[in-house]
Every structure is written in C-alpha cells, then in structure tokens.
A and B are shown apart, each in its own frame.
Chain A
Amino acid sequence: MEVDAVEQYVLPETRETPSRFRNPIGKYMIVRNDRCTRCGLCATLCPYGVHPEYDAYSRALKPRSHRCIGFSCRQNDFYCIQHCPEKALTLHTNPILETLGDFRWTAEMLIGNWEMAETGRLPLVDLEYTLGCSGGGFDKMRFRHPDPEVYLDLPDEVIDTGIDLNRRRDGRPDKRLSLPCYGGGMSFGSTALSVIVGRARAAKRLNTLTCTGEGGYPAEFIPYADHVITQVATGLFGVREETILFAPVVEFKYAQGAKPGLGGHLLGDKVTPEVAAMRGTVVGNALFSPFPFHSVYSVEDHKKHVDWVKEINPRALVSVKVSTPTDVDMVAVGSYYAGAHIIHIDGSYGGTGAAPDIAKKNIAMPIEYAIPKVHRFLIQEGVRDEICLIASGGIRNAMDVAKAIALGANGVVIGTAELVALECVRCGNCESGRGCARGIATTDPELGSMIAEEWAEQRIVNMYSAWRKQWCSLLRQYGLKSIKELVGRTDLLVHLDYLDEAERAAYAPSPQGPVII
C-alpha cells in the first residue's frame, strides 16, 4: 500500500538491556546436569541465546533460562532437549512462578513486561501479558473480533500513536506527545534519583512526559525540562517560581487513587539530607502532604490556583489530578470550567507509592468505571472536545491503555509498569526502613546505587517501543490510522460477563491463576 505523505514517527532505538541480576526470572527453567560434555551443540542450535558460549571459555555456562520459549519448542528442529547427545538437559516450568505476582499483576504479566523492557520487542515466550486474574474491569474486556476487510496495511512508522494535550485552543502551545501515555508523578525522596532521571531521559527520547511528583525539582531534570511536569501538591514541597517556569505542564494534585482523600506521607527514614534540602525540611522527620489544598474550598478557589499558574508561566498547560469519587464527573466538569487543559482521573487500584491497604482496596471507584462516566458527562456538557481526559490507576500494559482509550480517555498515565520495567517485583515494601530492596523506591545510598540512569532510560524506552507495536497492530486491524480515532470507541470492546456463553467462547478466557496471596 502506498504510504501517504504523513508525518512519520521516528522510533527510538531499542537495545538489548539485560537484567541487573545474575539470575533473571523466566517462565521456564533449563537445567544442565553433569553429563554435559560441553560439546556446544545446544549453543549452536538455540536461536534465542539460551545457551551462552564464549570463544575463549570452554566451560559450560549456566543456561539463560528466562529466554527459553518452553515446551512449544518441541516442534522445532533446534529443540535442545531432544538434540543433546548426552541427554543432559531438562526443561520444566519455573516453580517460582507461584510465588510471584498477584491477581492484578500475574507472574506472566511481570515476566512479559521484563522481556519487553529487556529486548524492546514483544515476548517470544508464551506468556499471557495483557490479562490479569482480577476477574473484572480490564481483565474481563476484550477487543471485538475485527472485520478483515477494514485491515490497513501500514507500517508502524506512519501510524499515529500521539495525543494532543491542549485542546482548548486558548493560545497556549500545542503540546503533542508521540505516545498516548506519560509517566506518573514519583517524587525525589520516594524514588531513587537515578530512577526518576532515567524516566525523564526516556520521556525525552520517546517525546512524552514524566512528572516530578511532590518532591521538588532536582537539577538533574533541567536538561529534560521540556519533558518534565511540575507537580503542585498540597504540601507544596519543592514548588518554586522557577520550577513552574521550567514546566511545559503544571499538574495540580488534589488526590491520588491509591489513597484518595488521605494526602501523602514520606516516612522519616527516607528524608535524607538531599531530600530534606530539596523539600526545605528537616532531615529524618516524616513529611505529610495534608489533604486537600487548604486554600481550596470550591471550584472558584480552584480556578484561582489555575489562574495563578497561568499567570506565572504563560506557556504552561494546566493539568488537574483528582481521584474517582461518585461525583468524579462533576469534578471533571468543574476543572474544565476552572480553565484546566487536562483532567487526570486516578483510579483506586493503582498507585506506586505506599498507601494503606484499606484505602487501595476500598476507597473510590476503579478507573474502568470512572473513564466512561466522565467521558459521557463531558459529552453531555458539550465540552468533551476541549479537554484532554487522562486516566491512570491500574493501567498495566499496552492493551489496558488501548481499552482505557476505547472507553473514552484521550491518554493514560503510567506508573507501576515503568517501575516493573526496572525490575520491580511488586513486593510492596516501598516505604519501610531503607525502602525498596531492589533499589527503586529508596533514597538509601547503598540501595539507591543499584540502578544506572542509562539502564533505566533504555529499559523504559524498550518497554514503550514494544507497547507501541501492540497499539499499531491493534489500530491496523480496525482500519484506524491514529489512536485518536480510538477514543470512546466502546463499540470495539466486549465484556465477557455481558456475552452469552457461546459468544464468550470466541474470546480468550481470563487466566485462572493460581494466585496465592
């Protein structure tokens, strides 16, 4: 098919970016016993690099099991288990899978994310990385079987996965992102500096955004300032005139989905001298972000805030981040009338930072409900075309992003998935003591040095590159050239609980676990 003269998206370079750890976790395990004679046949056969071999090193190396495609390889000519002359190799499913993951992020979804972050392409291993076991919401939704007639044979480069953040046509800059998502706020203090800077570097390469969170604006962000959102939250930590002036987008955080209505809390252990200096506080003292803004009692007060930012930085767009109460639709419309460019709704099942379990599970509605509710109400109010609706909170993978957009969002904000790309295992122990044992959500000098900025940057670039492939593939199937055409296309979605048994059988069933929590 002849490609129209359209703007082509230049894909950032993906590079093999292996795990930081000696033993990456994969779905399968290859075990080599002592009958191995190091003949090297397996290394020659395997196209996936499961059996490493170095020219100047004759000893057999431990297999890179996480690259193994598993039992589906039996049909291949290069199936190492069958061809090993000494029958020294054994293949089995990794028993550790049972101890990894949970209902929302299954072991296979985590491993799939890691593989994408490592390679920049879709996983080769048979993993269910787009559906969890939660039994509702995104995990019960599927895209309707497409009509083959409408298939568009276009290369990825000309498919538009970008979104426009300024839809108000108010004279402020048109901010266009190349992806339908950007990074959520993670503060300096809650997360290692190398992680947040790595995210900013990735945002620049991908032409998207990341967000400071409520931890101030480290000098390391300045080279990437065009891609960093300054968050103004209730504690106003690190909010200064220059940080508002740097920002292409200023985000007011009224609430966050994981702990709606509860404010933020950085434990004293994480308030190191650097964090305290950045936030203008005392070392070792716990920091609270009260809820809500003490200066906001009404939409009019809120407008005052928005006007204040617009006055300081005439080029900045304003985003308003709220949680998902029953009246989230009214809140969204209020934000529109206050002059916001972006209304960012954060559902209850997401969040990266530490939050009371009772809040994450019980307070406010999941994002799957909030998106269509807000989208519909904005249409009824006649303002849908003038505001950018961004959703977050429990959006875990590329297909969740696409489903959120089909439900009515313009784009989404990603937090946890970026951290998983940096090998977060979601142990959830982000807040206590020295913080994350894996060097991600920590300010401990030793743990915080486990990640290099370049590594973090490339892993995130790789992950989004693989996600983009999935979006392009999806859009082609429905004859869409742009992800903007997917917004609100609920007709392309089905929900398994709303189908007859026969209809349901035509779609991939939800994974059944086992999940033991």
Chain B
Amino acid sequence: MPKRYHVAVLASPPRFHAIGKYATIEFKEDCAGSCRECVKKKCVYGVFRETHEHALKMIEPEYLYICQSCFRCVQECTKGIFSRVINPAYRNLGNNYWSRDILHRLWYQAHFGKIPVSGAGYRGPFTGKGFDSMWTDMSEIVRPTRDGIHGREYINTSIELSRRNTFLTFAPDGSLDCEPPPILEIPIPVLFQWPENIVKTRSLILSTAMAAVELGTLLFLDPEDFTEALLPYAGNMVFRVNGGDLSRFPPFLQQSRMVEISDGPKLARLVGDLRELRPGLIVAVGVPLTPEAPSTAVRLAEADVDSIHFYATESGYEKHTASPRFLKDCIRSVHLELVNHSLRQKVNLLFSGGIAMAEHMAKAIICGADGVVADTVLPVALECRLCSRCREGLSCPVKLDDIINPQWGKQRIVNLMGAWHSQLLEVMGAMGIREARRIRGEIGRSMHFYELEREIFGPIFGERKVPECA
C-alpha cells in the first residue's frame, strides 16, 4: 500500500468574532418583552444565545456571525417586529479582488479545514474577470480510481521544483552518460510567502514555517526575517539571496534545499557558484511578472535554473505596465512561449499574487503553472481582515501585531491548505486525472467564456458587441 498524503485538519476557532454579514433590527416599541414564543429563543442554530452572552461581556457585537440566513426569526416573530439588514461593517470588508465573500470562505476553511459546501445551486455571477471566466471540465466515464470518493487518496498532487534533463544520453555500454539533476518534490502545488505590506511578526512567520513543515511544502523568506526559533524549520525555507560572498552564508542557509535569487547580468555565474558551493541546491529565480515575462522565462530556462517564480500584484495582475493582464493570461503566455522553445519540460513555473481560492490554484495549473505561491491568504487564515490599518501604522483589530500562539496559527494555515487540497482533488477527480502534473497546461480540459460564446452563441446571435473584460 503506497503512503497516502494526508492533511490532518483540526477545528481551530477564531480568536475574535469575524465580521458577520447580518445585523438585526428590532422595533422594540411593539415587543411584548416577555414573549414565550420569542424567536430568539427558538433559533434552530442558537444564534441569539451567543449574542446574549456577548452582550453580557460588553464587547463589540459580532453581528450574527453564525447566522445561516434561514429567515425563520423574521417570519415567525409573533409581533412581526424583527428584521435584518446587512451589517455596515460587512459592506466595507475586503476590496474588489479580495471580496468579503472570499474572506468569509477563507475564514471558514481555516476554522474547520473543510470544503465549503452548500445546497440550492450556485449563487454567483454567470462569469467574471480573470479566473472566473473559465470552467474546468469533467469526464462522464473516466475516473482516476474506480472507487469513487474513497479513492481520492490515490490522486497525486505533488509537483517538482527541480530542473529536468530534456533528454538522456547513454554510453556505448548502455550506461547513463549524463548527470541527472537533483530532485526536489513537494506534495502539494502550493508554496508560502508572507505578503509585503501586511504586519509581519516573528510568531506569524513561525506559524507559517511550522505549517510549511507539516504540509511538506516550502516557505520563501528573506534572510533578515530568520530567527533562532525558525532553525528547526530551515529545511523547508527558500531564502531569497542576492549574491554576495556565498561562502559566508549563515549556517541556517546551509540547511535549506532551495534558494531564490534575483535576475541580473551575473545570474549565470551566481547559479554556477551556488551549485558549486552546494551541489544539491535547487535554484529558483524570482522576477516580477511583467509583459516581458515570456522572453524572461525562455532566457532563464536556457540559463539552467530549476524554477522561475513570477511575482504578480496582490490582485494577480502584471507589474510595470499601463495595461496589465491578469495572471491567467500571463501564465498562459509564459507556458506557451516555453513550449514553443521546447523548454517547458526543463523548468518549473511558480506564480504568486492573486491566488485567493482553491480554484485559482487548479486553474493556474491548467493554464500552465507548475505551482502557485500563497501569500495574502496566509494572514487571512489567521483572521486578517485586510483592513490595511497595519499599513498605516495603526493597531490590528485581530491583534496580529501581538504575539500569537504558533500552534494555533500553524493549525489554521494547515486547515486552509487541507481544504484547498481537498478541493483540488474534487476538480481533478471530476476530470478523471490522478496526477497534478498532468493537468499542467491541459487547457483542453477547461472551457473559457469567450470561446464558448464564440463557438455556441456566435452562430445564434451573430457578432458580440460587448467587448471582452480583462
């Protein structure tokens, strides 16, 4: 029996009440005050029991965080005095990309480690920008295993971060005549990096590092953020170094299996020096995601690096351009450029910025990435509301600027990634694919809004007059 990859999730409640969607209105002048049928006592979910306790403790109201929106309180109140509105704080939660709905779902997954499930059909827009303009395929017959939901453990989600020989050479005696490069594999196609511009403390980094070790993935880290407490986890860290005297690298760096360097004129020499210093070291190059990304990728692949890490903006767009494209299209163009140069098998592509949901991970891989780097979702898993107060030097409403229990922090991140892993299995299971590496660039196993419109609606309605949205 092969070893199965398993993420051990464990419910980890939030330390603070999240901003709930609803607030109640009561027209008290009509309330009998002692109604035996009071809907607050009869709530199926016990929402108001907790609200009552909350009021006693005189802390900020949580505005029905756990309300399931069944409307029975509104419809059964004997006096009809009960109504609901959207919590004003909920309206201001998140931003255009990191929407309140995404934040709520991320909090749920970090809390329970479960896939968000609901009934009564889909609730969102027909299509949208970016990743929302594509659907993934399914197969009516082919399955990764013939054992339905129980066979999902055998779906392999691991990816490689090490370079590959594009072909092998053999000596006349049939023995291998080339040096196979070292192999670095991680069991899930997600790596971590703590986002810029969000409060960063030692305990937050420690939580993330512990989660990376438990999940078997890697954490990108600047050497100056390293602390003694991180020493046991150094093997799962990818330090970002910019050259210098490599022989004087601190000892912790010697333990890491992978390092990230910046692009530059001395890149080839730096890569050579690093490999000479540490023959098994995997070398990634971090570059901003710009319109030049495809040609950059070709150049770096020819320079024999192991992985290329493209940094997009927090919302998943290109940098340094007046008309930025979204991650989906950028990944596609980088992937195809490498395919056209017969270099795709050689190098691995990682993308960070804008990865906000499990489906983004799956879709990024379908578009051509090997893996993604989770950044902003990490503080969100630890209850961050993306309120930006920390960017202005103000206190954090969920006290991320204070010391947090790293065990709790680790578990919240593990829970979130456990839920993402399960969702990736759902998508791959539906497609009938049992290797994450096999969906890389498998664009044929996806459907795109504008292609479907052209192919199916074009013959019916003619030419589309509303232009494509980015």
A-side residues, CB < 8 A to B, are 19, 21-25, 62, 94-96, 98-100, 102-105, 133-137, 139-140, 234, 254-255, 258, 260-263, 265, 288-292, 294, 296-298, 322-323, 325-326, 331, 348-366, 369, 372-373, 376, 393-394, 407, 416, 419, 424-432, 434, 436-438, 441, 447, 490, 493-501, 516-517
Contacts and interface: CB of A to CB of B under 8 A. Distances in A.
Contacts of A365: 135, 447, 452
Residue in A260, A265, A362, A376 whose Cβ sees the most chain B Cβ within 10 Å: A362
B117 interface: yes
A430 B118 contact: yes
B83 interface: yes
Contacts, number: 271
B458 to A, nearest CB: 9
Given A363-B427, A365-B135, A365-B452, A427 B140 contact: no
A99 B86 CA distance: 6
- In this complex, the member of B72, B84, B101, B126 whose beta carbon has the largest number of chain A beta carbons within 10 angstroms is B126
Which of B84, B125, B149, B465 has most chain A Cβ within 10 Å?
Answer: B125
A365 B135 CA distance: 7
A426 B122 CA distance: 10
Nearest to A294: B146
Closest A-B pairs by Cβ, 3 of them: A290-B148, A136-B126, A430-B119
B136 to A, nearest CB: 5
A24 B140 contact: no
Contacts of A133: 125
A255 to B, nearest CB: 6
Interface in B99-139: 101, 105, 115-127, 135-139
Contacts of A21: 72, 75-76
B54 to A, nearest CB: 20
Nearest to A255: B140
Given A325-B137, A498-B463, A430 B120 contact: yes
Nearest to A415: B121
A62 B80 contact: yes
Contacts of A99: 21-22, 69, 84-86
B138 A260 contact: yes
Interface stretch (B154-162, B402-410, B429-437): B429-437
Contacts of A432: 117
A362 B143 CA distance: 18
Interface residues of B, number: 78
B52 interface: no
A450 B150 CA distance: 36
Interface string B52-83: 00000000000000001111101111101001
A263 B138 CA distance: 12
B67 to A, nearest CB: 9
Nearest to B82: A23
A355 B118 contact: yes
B126 A366 contact: yes
Contacts of A360: 118, 121-122
Contact of A426 (B116, B120, B136): B120
Contact of A358 (B68, B139, B143, B426): B426
Given A294-B146, A362-B135, A369 B74 contact: no
A497 B468 CA distance: 10
- Interface centre among B124, B359, B427, B463, by most chain A C-beta atoms within 10 angstroms, is B124
Contacts of B445: 326
B121 A416 contact: yes
Given A234-B148, A260-B430, A369-B456, A354 B117 contact: yes
B456 A102 contact: no
Contacts of B118: 354-355, 357, 360, 428-431
Nearest to A331: B140
B171 interface: no
B84 A96 contact: yes
B463 A372 contact: no
Contacts of A297: 141
